[in-house]
């Protein structure tokens, strides 16, 4: 189970874009929400000026080594194995 979460963490942080809420206004009994463009947490870290260069370099090195298709396949296989065990 822990290996599923390790792979899922990599997959979601490097390859799953997320919309980030920038503002929410109340206008005439409705809320108007404004979102930033979709980006992965990895892309947001690289764009941040507050984070030093060394962690960005380590993350970039890890990103280059990852294959999203292979990672997703291993996650699916591990989940299938878990379902087989639980039955």
- Number of structural domains found in the chain: 1
Buried b (16+ CB within 10 A) or exposed e, 62-87: ebeeeeeeebeeebeebeeeeeeeee
Task: Give the pTM.
Answer: 0.82
Domain span at 9: 2-86
pLDDT tens profile 4-51: 999 999 999 999 999 999 999 999 989 999 999 999 999 999 999 999
Would you state the pLDDT for residue 86? 85
Would you state the pLDDT for residue 87? 83
How far is residue 18's CA from residue 37's CA, in Å, rounded to a whole number?
Answer: 8
How far is residue 70's CA from residue 44's CA, in Å, rounded to a whole number?
Answer: 23
pLDDT tens profile 53-65: 999 999 999 999 9
Would you state the pLDDT for residue 1? 85
């Amino acid at each position: 189970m822990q290996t599923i979460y390790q792979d899922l963490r990599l997959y979601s942080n490097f390859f799953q874009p997320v919309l980030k809420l920038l503002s929410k206004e109340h206008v005439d009994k409705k809320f108007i929400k404004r979102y930033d463009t979709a980006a992965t947490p990895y892309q947001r870290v690289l764009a941040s000026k507050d984070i030093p260069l060394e962690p960005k370099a380590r993350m970039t090195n890890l990103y280059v080594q990852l294959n999203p298709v292979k990672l997703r396949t291993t996650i699916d296989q591990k989940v299938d194995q878990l379902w087989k065990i639980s039955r």
